[in-house]
Amino acid sequence: MKKLGVLSVLLALASPMLAGPSGIDLHDYWDQRCKECHGHSSEFARRHLRVEHGRLLGVHHRSDLDVFMSNHYLADDLLAPVSAMLMAQVTTPPLFRERCSGCHGGAAAFARKSLTLRDGVLVGNASGRKVADYLASHGGLAPGEVPIVVDSLTRTRIEVSTEGK
């Protein structure tokens, strides 16, 4: 439960940074610019990055990760949002990938196609139901896992949004 509290605090602090500049889908940006060399963003983040004292650190670039990323093909206006995305991926258990992706595919594609934020609440496009309510009886998640998946999908929906921000 402590991890959920930390995740919620990180999500709240990072949410203004999660969305890129208007019209930028951060996951699509990663896939077009970074994936060929670094693989999927969450796998890369969990394998090569750490968060210490609220700061994102690289295995190889511990003290200068921001400088390295800004000199490594990352647009200046995307440094904060991409860093926030990677930090969230490092600190979020991969429950969606482990429990949901077999049926629903990747979280970013699923969020783009099937989810909407309505007054800050994540809902399914087809049903209009709150995702938290739906997951209470879908997918076999334990009650403590539901908020983790909802927070993860909410963050992902924000990151893939191409609407005016």
| Segments making up each domain of the chain, as ranges | 2-160
Residue 132: predicted pLDDT: 97
Q: How far is the C-alpha of 156 from the C-alpha of 152, rounded, in Å?
A: 6
Burial of 2 (C-beta count, 10 Å sphere; 0-12/13-18/19+): exposed
Three-class DSSP category at 11? helix
Residue 14: predicted pLDDT: 45
| Arithmetic mean of pLDDT, 132-138 | 95
Both structure tokens of 144: 């403590």
- Does the pLDDT of residue 64 top 80, yes or no? no
Confidence category of residue 60, pLDDT binned at 50, 70, 90: confident
pLDDT > 70: percent of the chain: 82
| Arithmetic mean of pLDDT, 90-107 | 95
Q: Average pLDDT, whole number, for the chain?
A: 84
- Does the pLDDT of residue 17 top 50, yes or no? no
What's the pTM value of the predicted model, to 2 decimals? Answer: 0.81
What letter represents residue 14's amino acid? A
